[in-house]
Amino acid sequence: MSNFLRSGFVAIALTFVFGSLAVTETAAQPATKILQRMDTHYKALESLQADISRETYNSQLEDTDKMSGNISLKPGKGTDFSLLLEWTKPRDEVISVVNGKYMAFVKGSGQAFVGNSGSKKLNNKGGGVLKMLGRMDKAEIKSNYEVLYLGEEGVGGSVKTGHLRLTPKAKSDYKFADIWVDSDGMVLQVKLTMLNNDTDTILLTKIKKNEISDVSIFKVKLPQGTKLIEG
């Protein structure tokens, strides 16, 4: 579970936080325009639903793992966001965040991890990235990242996107994040390169925006008798 929180949450979080990015002084003009589109898009985004796929590459073993499922999100500021992430392949795993509380479990395991989405314990497991699922302050992001424009590229073989690379200025658990942004300012793909050269790639497809009306979908009812583990 700790490994899932560390790498999985990082990739998911970065997919949504960049809507509030502000460009650094060293970023090129195309990056500035892309970030402006992202900011406009994020401000108009009330909810998001999508199919999600994840590919993790272990550089030491030269091995790749793949996961797929779906995600629902209502953005917010800080820990004030709602998230439901349901992995369906290769196994059923669920993560939900509601009202500043998170819950994560593997279906059939008989136990669930629960805690405060802003707690130090969860930040340690997830690299502090749950905070990034909410809308971080522009000044904070501007002071934390260098932004580089790498050109136009296709995602999924057809969708034109702008490719940006974001490098943390401070010590982090990853070297940099590559993101691919469509013409609307939506981040479609994120690829993290870790310090040990492992990579973690998230792709969103079949995206639906601003269609969630019932927030109860984010609350997951655990099976009776499930053991709760604070962490």
Q: Closest Cα to residue 183, out of 57, 54, 38?
A: 38
**Which pLDDT score is estimated for 141?**
57
**Which pLDDT score is estimated for 227?**
92
The separation between CA 125 and the C-alpha centre of its own chain, rounded to angstroms, equals: 15
**Which pLDDT score is estimated for 68?**
92
Pairing of strands 82-89, 63-74: antiparallel
In angstroms, the CA 13 to CA 130 distance is 7
Q: Is the pLDDT of residue 133 over 90?
A: no
**Which pLDDT score is estimated for 38?**
82
The pLDDT tens digits for 175-192 are 988 888 899 888 888 888
Q: Hey, what are 109's tokens?
A: 């395991």
**Which pLDDT score is estimated for 79?**
63
pLDDT band, very low/low/confident/very high, at 140 (cuts 50, 70, 90): low
In angstroms, the CA 203 to CA 53 distance is 5
Residue 38: its H or E element: helix 29-44
Look up the pTM and report it: 0.79
Lowest mean pLDDT among 21-25, 42-46, 105-109: 21-25
**What value does the mean pLDDT of the chain take?**
77
Mean pLDDT of 165-173: 86
Q: Is the pLDDT of residue 108 over 60?
A: yes
**Which pLDDT score is estimated for 197?**
94
In angstroms, the CA 224 to CA 202 distance is 33
Residue 42: its H or E element: helix 29-44
Quick one: fold of 2-230? outer membrane lipoprotein receptor (LolB), chain A (2.50.20)
The pLDDT tens digits for 189-215 are 888 898 999 988 888 889 999 999 888
- Pure H helices in 56-193: 120-126, 130-133, 138-144
In angstroms, the CA 54 to CA 4 distance is 12
* Alpha-carbon dihedral sign for residues 93, 195, 149, 166: positive
Q: Is the pLDDT of residue 148 over 70?
A: yes
Q: Hey, what are 23's tokens?
A: 């460009």
**Which pLDDT score is estimated for 20?**
44
**Torsion region of 156: left, alpha or beta (phi above 0 gives left; psi -120 to 50 gives alpha):** left
Give the range with max mean pLDDT: 22-26, 36-40, 53-57, 122-126.
Answer: 53-57
In angstroms, the CA 71 to CA 93 distance is 12
